[in-house]
A and B are shown apart, each in its own frame.
Chain A
């Protein structure tokens, strides 16, 4: 039991961490059609900002997640301003310019983090009562792993409700599918773009805050999940959040069981599975659910 259960939980934890990063990336791509290179930077800012408020205090879970949420809001506001000032100017240009612009933004963020918080590595204590282990099936599971898994599932469910079941979702889907027609119907598409970009940043930031007690905090951590997140977004189908969720779980489990059963070649299983899926389904598991409906 233990030999199956442990890698299952560890794989799911990793999957949900990656999904928390990938969800915002996928949402922004689905609606704005831009691949935001700076996404990892906002993930990192979420971590550092959360750290700044908490430092070495073990807070109650309620206070902890309130701070994470607040940091998400602060960074979402910054994200909205950046969309208005910078990102917006690139919508009409070739995609390459957007890549360069968001990459430049990432470099600025990395430099700022180094400047403000320094090069020193940091670590964040877990919220009170969640720092230890929980025994399930005679196996010790870090309690905080369960929090991360729950957070990932919650974000997936809420995003699905928001986009596919709410009135706002209808407008978002319309703006993603045909911005000109949506605009002609009297809907302010640029505002929707700003909000979606900011919401993507919010997801990156709370992903960072939630993951912070599970990770070293370093000024180069912007890239720590971003490659896997890009992989998950591509395998799930660009812009498809449900697809990203499923892809994260598949790749997370493959990676986790890979370290157990193929210890000689650690880290390979993730990329092998990704390549295999893309060989069979070059456009990913699903098509974009946001723009095609």
Chain B
């Protein structure tokens, strides 16, 4: 009897706690949102759903996207909003989980919000994109790189504001052929899932195109290492690549996995034994973690502010970020979230409406100003034509132990694949 009672009590306490927590979180969000739109008061705000990973392994991406979005909202509202209406963000956590992503998107759709941006993971994007089609919303993703999104799984309610693996990896392959013409033996360490394989396939195709074309050399792939997702030990893969005598190494390991892999390669003097290391997408995550242990390597990034220091918009975003978040190294995800809102602003002002059909129509073929110059959203497959940014980092003595010593910008028009919505991507 006593035990039954205490069980009931415990269960009640837990459910009460959960309720209080949930109510607390909800309340907080509601309070903070309207205060963001002070300058353009009086009219009904335009609301955007921001669905990003704020917890779990991709939380760091989501945090940067949220920052970029908030900076964009502040700037837009300070300048009078969109069509005189203030802009408001409603932010939700996807936990980088497709089910959670769909659940939070449904919640916001039911509140009448029809315009969305964010999403880091391709799996979440692939789940949310068909929901948008069904429920008449529209989403612009700010990282998800699966080529299915603009190919076999394409629908009109999905837009990608970033580059794609075809553009990104080929730009990096081209850079390798230009800068390391004698590095003809290549290998890779990639995560064993769709993203890992697709990045490598694109990079390999790029190598096979540009080495004969630019370096006038034949290329040899000597080692393809596929590691399980979330592995804690990469030493067997690292030594396999070394033993293959690969001189150029590509990786699309992601986030903490990439840091572990880089960290475990150090004792083997891995980076002294190869000519060049290429990291497809980790922005500043690896150097920020490794400090003065950072090996020299090239990194693909969505937006490198120094490349656009003549652009007032880029400078404003950079300065605002440094001021607000006390960090001198905003990642490209900040720029992409900012660009998504800029695209919406331009589209809404062009359409003079905020309903889904009008916004989709206005986004198609839209050219707008962004932190990385002019971008154009292709009408056929909703892929954005934009610059690909690649940076080179080296270790230095002074804090924070590393610096960017070089960067390259490749124009999107020269790299992008022909549109083929509904059909799989074809690699040459």
Contacts and interface: CB of A to CB of B under 8 A. Distances in A.
A127 interface: no
B285 A121 contact: yes
Which of A93, A131, A215 has the most chain B CB atoms inside 10 A of its CB? A215
Contacts of A213: 263
Contacts, number: 118
A56 B255 contact: no
B233 A14 contact: yes
Contact of A266 (B14, B63, B192): B192
Contacts of A266: 192, 226-228, 231
Nearest to B267: A142
Contacts of B56: 220
A214 interface: yes
Contacts of B59: 114, 119, 219-220
Interface in B224-253: 225-233, 235-237, 239-240, 243
A53 interface: no
Contacts of B14: 100
Contacts of A225: 232
B233 A121 contact: no
Contacts of B260: 215-216
B236 A7 contact: yes
Contacts of A263: 225-226
Contacts of B80: none
B356 interface: no
B6 A93 contact: yes
Contacts of B229: 267
B396 interface: no
A265 to B, nearest CB: 9
Contacts of B3: 92-93
A218 B286 CA distance: 12
A218 B57 CA distance: 8
A122 B258 CA distance: 11
Given A56-B292, A121-B289, A218 B233 contact: no
Nearest to A2: B243
B259 A121 contact: yes
B235 A13 contact: yes
B401 A56 contact: yes
Contact of B291 (A56, A114, A221): A56
A215 B230 CA distance: 12
B264 A142 contact: yes
A225 B231 CA distance: 9
Interface residues on B, range: 35 or more
A123 B291 CA distance: 8
A26 interface: no
Given A122-B289, A216-B260, A132 B269 contact: yes
A125 interface: yes
A216 B257 contact: yes
Contacts of B266: 131
B60 interface: yes
Which of B3, B14, B59, B239 has the most chain A CB atoms inside 10 A of its CB? B239
B39 interface: no
B236 A260 contact: yes
A13 to B, nearest CB: 7
Contacts of B45: none
Nearest to B6: A93
Interface in B247-291: 255-260, 262-264, 266-269, 285-286, 288-291
A142 B235 contact: yes
Contact of A142 (B226, B257, B268, B289): B268
A97 B268 contact: no
A10 B236 contact: yes
Given A93-B7, A220-B57, A267-B231, A133 B288 contact: no
Nearest to A104: B14
Nearest to B288: A120
A197 B407 CA distance: 52
B267 A144 contact: yes
Contacts of A13: 233, 235
Nearest to A220: B57
A183 interface: no
Contacts of B233: 10, 13-14, 17, 256
Contact of A132 (B6, B227, B267): B267
A6 interface: yes
B232 to A, nearest CB: 5
Given A122-B289, A218-B255, 16 more contacts: A7-B236, A10-B239, A92-B3, A93-B3, A94-B7, A121-B256, A133-B268, A215-B263, A216-B257, A220-B59, A224-B232, A259-B236, A260-B240, A266-B192, A266-B227, A267-B229
Interface of B: 3, 6-7, 10, 14, 55-57, 59-60, 63, 192, 225-233, 235-237, 239-240, 243, 255-260, 262-264, 266-269, 285-286, 288-293, 401
